[in-house]
Every structure is written in C-alpha cells, then in structure tokens.
Amino acid sequence: MVFTGITRKQAFLTHLLISLAIFFVLSYLIIFQWYPSYYLHIDGGYRGLATIFFVDVVLGPGLTLLVFKPGKPGLKFDMSAIVILQIIALSWGIKSVYNERSVLTVFYDGKFSCMKYSEVSDFNLERLQLKDKAPPLLAVLPRPSTHKEYQDMMIEAFRQGSAEIYVFSEKLLPMDIVGTTQVMNYYLDVPNSFTGSQDEIEKYRKIWSDYLEKNPESSRRYLYYPMSCRYQKVLAVFDPEDSAIVDFVPVYTNRAESKIKLGFTPEELEYDREFKKKMKLENNSDE
C-alpha cells in the first residue's frame, strides 16, 4: 500500500512541506506580480496572502493530521478526498485573489483611486502602459476646463451609478509628462487637510510630523495627494520626476485643490454678461 510504514507525523510533515512550497511560489506572485508596491499593504495583498495560507497550509495539512491513522480502513480514500478538497479550495483561492488584484490607479479631481481587475476588464490598458514603468500602472483622467463640462461628467456618472473614472475610461491618459502635469496642477496643504474626528486628526498630525522628521527632504522633492483603495485611505507620496507613487503615509485628508479654476463656455459667458447687464439696468432704474 502507498501509506505502509508511514506515521501520522511523517504524513503531516510531508503534506505540510509540499503545501509550504506551493505557498511560497504563490506568495512571490502575490507580492511582486499581482499586488506590487502599495497594493500589498492597502488594497488587499495581505488578505490574499492570508486566504492562500489558510486554504493551502492550514486546511490540507490540518485535515491530514486529523484523519491520518496508520492501518486505518479506507485511509487511501480519505487522503484522496483531502487532496481533492485542497486542490478545489486552493483553485478557488487563487482565482479569487487573482481576479481581485488591483491593476490601475487613476488620478482625478484631486485624489488617486485604486481599481481592481474586474472593474477595468473592458479598459484599454495597453495604451496606458509605459515601457519604462513597472507596476503599479498609473493614469490620469483630466478634469474638464469649464463648469458645464465638469457638471456634465458628474451627472453622467451619477446616471450610471458609478464614478467618473469608470464611465470615462476612454479619456484616461498615461502617467507620462502630460499626465504628470495634470497631477501637478493640484496642491494639498497637508497639515490643514486632515479629516475625521478630533482624536483622529490629532493622531494624523503626529503621524505626519513623524514622517517629516524621518524624511526631511521629502517635502521639497515629493507631492502629496489622498489615495483611496479598497481597505485603506492614505496619503500618496508622488514623485513628479519619476511620475510614480513611491510611498504612502497612513493619514486621511480632503481632496487636493486645483490651481486652475474652472472656466465658462462661450454660451455661459454670454449669459453671464447679459445677466449682469440686466441687473445693472434694473439697479439704475430703481435709483
């Protein structure tokens, strides 16, 4: 028989070592391929590792330790069932972690937003990928230049029950020089932008102060913008020279403000002039 002369401890350790080898391979994929950089910390990477660890390292070897008994009738069937169950559970875990991975971070209207694979499956990601840039993939949705265009985008996104970055994906720009310029049009006064309860704001001020103390040159080199991912909202540290997010600070702030104010369409300007002219005539007549 296959299990002749094998003790429960030997069976458990053999199963555990095989499961650990599989876990280490999958961990490499999760950390360096599927959830690189900040995705690992704030957008589900650690949850993915925990899921794979449970279904691979805990479930299978644990059942072996529980069920395996030398000489037990039907032991071969029991072990086959455990292996099949582990394969099914592991396949489900891998598929879940893979499909939930984040593949794109978009800057729009003063903040970065992480987007997972299932949300961008119909996006043309190839045109946003720069050859000299490693993941995470960054893009920019340019803010309209007039009030009317801005409101139209908001209304259309609301009508579709989504956000602008999902509805207007065809307008996304890669994070090249042009995209970086779009980002640099925004400014965030970090110390005065923390949001939350008074206790939370005090905590954020302490975290921010500690960050600046440890990174004295960062305020001159980097720009800071809020970033919202699935499991955490943080402050992204953006390097405009490299056009990349190089770090994050675990604080929550308001959106950054645009240095460029929204303008008006020619029709709106004409209406505004006529309105002011009418009001002036009415005021003169009252006098």
pLDDT tens digits along 222-272? 999 999 998 899 999 999 999 999 999 999 999 999 999 888 877 766 665
Do 146 and 71 share a structural domain?
Answer: no
- 46, 157, 170, 159: which is closest to 120 by C-alpha? 170
Confidence label for 123 from pLDDT (cuts 50, 70 and 90): confident
Please compute the mean of the pLDDT values over residues 22-39 and round it to a whole number: 94
Last residue of a domain, one of 69, 99, 129: 99
pLDDT-above-70 percentage for the chain = 92
The range of the structural domain enclosing residue 188 comes to 102-258
Do 133 and 166 share a structural domain?
Answer: yes
Do 63 and 21 share a structural domain?
Answer: yes
Do 84 and 110 share a structural domain?
Answer: no
Residue 118 has pLDDT above 90, yes or no: no
Do 145 and 118 share a structural domain?
Answer: yes
Least confident of 111-115, 183-187, 216-220: 216-220
Do 218 and 119 share a structural domain?
Answer: yes
- Establish if 275 belongs to a structural domain: no
Residue 94 has pLDDT above 50, yes or no: yes
Do 132 and 213 share a structural domain?
Answer: yes
Rounded CA separation 64/18 (Å): 13
- Establish if 284 belongs to a structural domain: no
Please compute the mean of the pLDDT values over residues 11-39 and round it to a whole number: 93
Residue 58 has pLDDT above 60, yes or no: yes
Do 118 and 58 share a structural domain?
Answer: no
Least confident of 83-87, 128-132, 186-190: 128-132
- Establish if 209 belongs to a structural domain: yes
- Establish if 83 belongs to a structural domain: yes
Query: For residue 276, what pLDDT is reported?
Result: 60
Do 216 and 250 share a structural domain?
Answer: yes
Residue 99 has pLDDT above 70, yes or no: yes
272 or 208, greater pLDDT: 208
Residue 111 has pLDDT above 90, yes or no: yes
Confidence label for 274 from pLDDT (cuts 50, 70 and 90): low
Confidence label for 2 from pLDDT (cuts 50, 70 and 90): low
Q: Which residues contact 40 (CB under 8 A, 6 or more apart)?
A: 30, 31, 46
Confidence label for 284 from pLDDT (cuts 50, 70 and 90): low
- Asked whether 3 and 70 are in contact (CB, 8 A), the reply is yes
Please compute the mean of the pLDDT values over residues 179-203 and round it to a whole number: 95
Query: For residue 86, what pLDDT is reported?
Result: 92
Last residue of a domain, one of 99, 132, 153: 99
Do 108 and 88 share a structural domain?
Answer: no
- Establish if 71 belongs to a structural domain: yes
Residue 158 has pLDDT above 70, yes or no: yes
Query: For residue 218, what pLDDT is reported?
Result: 86
- Establish if 263 belongs to a structural domain: no
Residue 285 has pLDDT above 90, yes or no: no
Do 91 and 108 share a structural domain?
Answer: no
Last residue of a domain, one of 54, 77, 99: 99
Residue 198 has pLDDT above 50, yes or no: yes
Query: For residue 84, what pLDDT is reported?
Result: 93
Do 161 and 41 share a structural domain?
Answer: no
- Establish if 265 belongs to a structural domain: no
- Structurally, the chain folds into a number of domains equal to 2
- Establish if 281 belongs to a structural domain: no
Confidence label for 1 from pLDDT (cuts 50, 70 and 90): very low
Rounded CA separation 183/177 (Å): 10
Least confident of 213-217, 221-225, 282-286: 282-286
At 44, the amino acid letter reads: G
